[in-house]
Structure 1
């Protein structure tokens, strides 16, 4: 569609004035310097979130390995952690896949691409985000249940958690794919132009964040009550404040509270700050969660130290066995031959000493 308009130049005593409005504004051309600066910024920022997601991916896979290999850690709490870790792994993988499919060729304009591959990549990316938010919600629900209802048998709720964490995102993304396919099958489905289609994904995410925020406040309230009890040292104000601050900081990445900053704002509000929080900080969230809830866990550290010590001992014994020399073996044979040649009286005394030694060791 063509839009007509006018540009003006004034004839003055000093000659013709500059064109108003400028050609860049009137015709929609971007300034090359500004465009180059913006491209450099996003290119550098892409390196940051790529490093963040790669770090998260490695740490999360390692955490899943620890929780699944060691039998000691097989419980409902860690099963929920494993599913949360898997949702972060999916999110990091989806970002890498989307970048490869949409941005691998700089000559292609992804805004005008419309291939099954790019649509699938975007759909998988949206599913991973939904799953990640809903597993953050499950973690919040589980923690509140654990604190509020001490004697509840948590295992019977586990399949409900699975249904919320994986089932609801599957239903939502299926609805979004069908709606997008029939009503707005343009491009790679990575735009948010049609509001009601975008809100199929946006509304559940916003609702999960709102519920998680309420749970977060309630969990902090329960923690305050528990920390103020005399048995936990509630009379010491400085100790109480330190423990409360530590607990709150630990809960922020687990509940995804940093996403609340832009949860209820329009998509075009604070674009650069939104990208920094959701991609910059969000890319390292998986690493922080794996660190806090696996590698800094006292039980995990104790078990890893025990396994490492056992492996180190076995390696040392195996190495010592391999390092036995022919001289050692020959000296052993010599000792046996000497005993054979000794007198019966000497043999009897040596047997007596051996029996005495055995009795002492038994005592």
Structure 2
């Protein structure tokens, strides 16, 4: 931006300066206020009164000696200041933030020259943003700038305030001589650093994940305890549930150990501290289990697609699903850890390029599952057309299938696929996104366990046998249990099949064993046939269609 001439003056918190000096001073202070004040370890340069950035060497007597001066050339990425004053893994993001602040200071200089000075408190640049002139006793308010402290900045901010006192000067706070980077004139940015919206988001996320944990644990116990339910379809569910449970637990631990500390003290973001390895391990586990979630979502989609398209297809060996669901995520996590191993502190601050190690597989999984869901719905509608089902019935069944399969395939993220600009008016989006993400375990456990017809049949059978052992069951119900045990299976097209066998098994047998569930000890041929039918209809019972 072209400014008038070198003899024109522009004002910042230290007073009036020639334009070139003003640009150097304000750009240097942008670095100090935005980066050095929040993390002096990774951003070591400090402000020099002549408008430079500098670093010092510590002497044995406790004093400091000047090492070198650096021009604050924010627009030149090849300038030495970038190689010395910024961590290499965040230089791209930091350069944009720094340039925004320096450009805002230059724009403020132009505004001052156009506006003139006919007010009590003159127009000024306070280190972060520009303020117009004000009358004595006037309180100005302004929006919080986007470049203000990127590590601690709240996403839903209030306003900044600057006070013109009754004597016609900007309100000032005086700092000691040992802190040259602290401005005399003071602007109230307290509301800009308000982190309460972030805290509310984390609270919503933690509550929803705790709900999922509370529902996933009993569901896993049910599938583990009842041998009749241990078919390949349900084993895939179990592994998916386990990945959701472990991710919820590790994320809860991570928020408890790290996130709460960062909300109370944002300076810990990149600093090296005594819990750095603990933080790295927990953070790495959250990345691993999150990727396992997406891998098992894809396993669910592949299994359902194969068995709907080819009902009598031979089952794929289960170790293939295990290798994909639990083994594949090790590769991107290992690469991520290896690349960032030499960094200081924890790996909380994301590196955009490396984040694609996780975003890529996640997007691939969701995209394939979306295609699978589309194909399944088309197949369902096609088969419904061969039956005497009304159009409203077809739509209802298709919509029901979509609702059931969306959380299983991870497609609930489609609801929040478009992310609006982060502001006070879009907080509903982040609450909704966190709630849907945290409640995925709740939805899948309710749909595919607690509302599963097989599970319900097992519990009914268990309740009847328990009442029979206590001797308080009506005689008719007791005779019915001994005479016939019926398992009802609902197919994807809502057809009902019954598998009935004579029951002579003692009521004192374990109910969740396969033999006791079916009443008699079937022959091996009958057992194989039953298991084949159980696996041949992956949508049966679970979808309720």
Same fold (TM over 0.5): yes
CA-to-aligned-CA distance 1:206-226 (integer Å, 9 cap, x gap): 222222222121111112112
**What is the deviation of 1:300?**
0.9
CA drift of 1:178 comes to 1.3
Contact 2:270 2:349 in 1 (8 A): no
Provide the rounded CA distance (Å) in 1 between the counterparts of 2:220 and 2:458: 15
Mapping for residues 310-329 of structure 1, pairs under 5 Å: 310-315=465-470
Query: Shift of residue 27 of structure 1?
Result: 8.7
2:461 matched to 1:306? Answer: yes
Between the two structures, name the one with larger relative contact order (CA 8 Å, sep ≥ 6): 1
Once the two structures are superposed, the pairs formed by residues 221-236 of structure 1 within 5 Å of their partners are 221-230=378-387, 233-234=388-389, 236=390
Larger strand percent: 2
Q: State how 1:19-58 maps to structure 2 within 5 Å.
A: 19-20=124-125, 21-22=129-130, 25=145, 28=148, 31-36=189-194, 39-58=195-214
Question: What is the rounded CA distance, in whole Å, between the counterparts of 1:172 and 1:307 in structure 2?
Answer: 45
1:109-120 equivalence runs, <5 A: 109-114=267-272, 115-120=276-281
- d(CA) in 2 for partners of 1:291, 1:27: 45
Structure-2 separation of matches of 1:59 and 1:305: 20
1:249 aligns with 2:357: no
Partner of 2:368: 211
Distance across 2 between alignment mates of 1:120 and 1:158: 29
Contact 1:94 / 1:121 at 8 angstroms: preserved in 2? yes
**2: CA distance between counterparts of 1:85 and 1:307?**
24
Give the total of aligned pairs.
Answer: 307
Structural RMSD (CA): 2.9
* Change over 3 Å in CA distance of 1:201–1:260 after alignment to 2: same
Aligned to 1:295, which of 438, 444, 450? 450
- 1:167 aligned onto 2:327: yes
Structure 1 residues not aligned, in runs of 5+: 318-363
1:252-263 equivalence runs, <5 A = 252-260=406-414
Structure 1 or 2: more helix by fraction: 1
Structure 1 residue 128: deviation in Å? 0.9
Gaps of 5+ in 2: 1-44, 46-52, 54-71, 73-101, 132-143, 154-188, 473-545
Q: State TM-score, norm by structure 1.
A: 0.76
- Residue of 289, 300, 311 corresponding to 1:150: 311
Please tell me whether residue 15 in structure 1 is matched to residue 120 in structure 2.
yes
Answering whether residue 223 of structure 2 is matched by residue 62 of structure 1, we say no
The structure-2 alpha-carbon separation of the partners of 1:186 and 1:222, relative to structure 1 and needing over 3 Å to count, comes to farther
The 1:26–1:144 alpha-carbon spacing in structure 2 relative to 1, beyond 3 Å, is closer
With 66-75 and 167-176 compared, the bigger mean Cα shift is at 167-176
Shift of 1:262: 6.6
Change (3 A) 1:269 1:220: farther
Q: Match of 1:79?
A: 235
Query: Cα distance, 1:14 vs. partner?
Result: 4.2
Instruction: Give the Cα–Cα distance (whole angstroms) in 1 for the partners of residues 394 and 290 of structure 2.
Output: 36
Q: Residue by residue, what CA displacement relative to the aligned partner does 1:199-249 show, whole Å, maximum 9, x if unpaired? A: 22221212222222221211111121122222xx33x11111111110111
- Alpha-carbon distance in 2 for matches of 1:262, 1:110: 31
Q: Secondary structure at the match of 2:222?
A: helix
Aligned twin of 1:191: 349
Displacement after TM superposition at 1:260 (Å): 4.1
Shift of 1:165: 0.6
Pair 1:27–1:202, CA change in 2 (3 A): closer
Contact 2:407-2:443 within 8 A present in 1 as well: yes
Q: 1:125 to 1:275 in 2, by over 3 A?
A: farther
Kindly provide the CA deviation profile for residues 33-54 of structure 1, in whole angstroms up to 9, marking residues without a partner as x.
2432xx2222222222111111
